[in-house]
Structures are given as C-alpha cells and as structure tokens.
Amino acid sequence: MLEPLYWVVRRDLTIAMRRRSDVFTTLIFFVIVVSLFPLGIGPEPATLRLIAPGIVWVGALLASMLALEQIFSADHRDGTLEQMLLTPQPVALLVSGKVLAHWLVSGVPLVIISPLLGLQYDLSIDALQVLVISLLLGTPTLSLIGAIGAALTLGLRSGGVLLALLVLPLYIPVLIFGAGAVEATVSGLGGQSHLSLLGAILVASLVLAPLATAAALRVAED
C-alpha cells in the first residue's frame, strides 16, 4: 500500500525540482509579504510583536494558495490523472501522495524560513519555536483542504478565483488557531491549547480530505 504513495511523492518532487521557479515564487511571495509590514508600520518593537502572528500566518496562507492549482492541473491536461483514477490502488492514497509532495515543496520552505522572518518582529525564542510548530501543524492542513478545492475547480475557467472563494472560509480556523498560538505565547499565556486544536484539525483533515478530494476528482473526470 505504501509503495504507490512513495512513487507518487517521488514523481511529483522530481517534476517540482525541474520547475524550481514555482517553488521560489511561493517562497519569495511569502518573504515579500511578511517583510513589507515592518517597513510600513515602523520599528516600534511592541507594535511589531503584537501584529507578527497574524501577518506571518496570513502570508503563509496566501503563499500556500499560489500553488494549489498545480496539484492536479498538469496531470489533468496530459491524461495522467485519468490513469490514476483507473488504477487498482485507492485513489485517496494517491491523493495523499500528491498532497504530501505539494506540502514538501510549498509548505516546508515556509516553515524553515519563518524564524528568520519572525526576527524582524522582535519575537522571542519561545515565540519563534511556537511559530514553527504552529506552521508545521497548520501548513499540511492548508494543503489538504486546498486539494479539495483544487479538485472541485479542476478544468474550470477562472478556476483560481473560484478556488480561493472555496478554500478561504475553510482556512479561517487554521489561521485563527495558528496565529493565536503565537500571540498567546507572546502575551505569556502559553499556546498549548491552540496547538492542540491545530493538531486535532490536522488529524481530521488527514482522514477526511483525501476521501473528499478523491470523490471530487471522480466527478471532475466524469
């Protein structure tokens, strides 16, 4: 069962490495969005610490949406997706592999660079650690939920706009708890409860999102 998952992840990562511009586009967009706010607001440390959680998380959310259309669109155009749906392996398993590859390409770089960007906002070491943990829990959820929207809008004109309208309301809980964990740490209250809720959302998404995405792909191919 795990061998098809491995090959799907390996294939998508190989394709992504051949199109490095897509990877760097997401990362550069995240860096630009997060870095512009300190320049516009000013160097007051108290203000920067107050707005940092929301800005970093909004930047990560928007950056992750840039690559959502690419999860299935290329496979849909060249017929690979149709072949995947005809294989004897569970479609949800193959979907999980594609979502994992998408997260490794678009989500992991954001997590890695987030502490450097957090330093611009005068965040403490504890706050930076919570920021990284919250992004590690939250960005896979963004990819899983985004895959459902990408499957529902597959092949549609202006699919990017419709995709944003579909997934943004579902992203709001992740944004609230992710930013809330860092904010609670900055204020000294502790962000463990927020991180627990993020973990619960991730577990629910891991179970439900691949099944929903697989059903949406069958509808799109029909």
Q: Scanning the structure block, which residue is given the tokens 């929207």?
A: 149
Report the distance separating Cα 200 and Cα 53, nearest Å.
20
Q: What is the pLDDT of residue 199?
A: 93
Contact 181, 130 (CB under 8 A): yes
Q: What is the pLDDT of residue 222?
A: 66
The reply to whether the predicted model has a pTM over 0.75 is yes
Surface-to-core class of residue 74, CB atoms within 10 Å of its CB (0-12 exposed, 13-18 middle, 19+ buried): middle
Which of the residue ranges 14-28, 173-187, 197-211 would you say has the lowest mean pLDDT?
14-28
Q: What is the pLDDT of residue 219?
A: 81
Q: Does pLDDT of 40 surpass 90?
A: no
Surface-to-core class of residue 55, CB atoms within 10 Å of its CB (0-12 exposed, 13-18 middle, 19+ buried): buried
Q: HSE of 163 in the Cβ direction (CA atoms, 13 Å)? A: 29
| Mean confidence (pLDDT) of the chain | 86
Write the pLDDT tens digit of every residue in 88-142: 888 888 888 899 998 998 889 999 998 888 888 888 898 889 999 999 999 999 9
Higher pLDDT, 2 or 120: 120
**Span 11-29, average pLDDT:** 83
Q: Does pLDDT of 83 surpass 70?
A: yes
Q: How many CB atoms lie within 10 A of CB 121?
A: 25
**Span 22-28, average pLDDT:** 83
Higher pLDDT, 69 or 136: 136
Q: Does pLDDT of 62 surpass 70?
A: yes
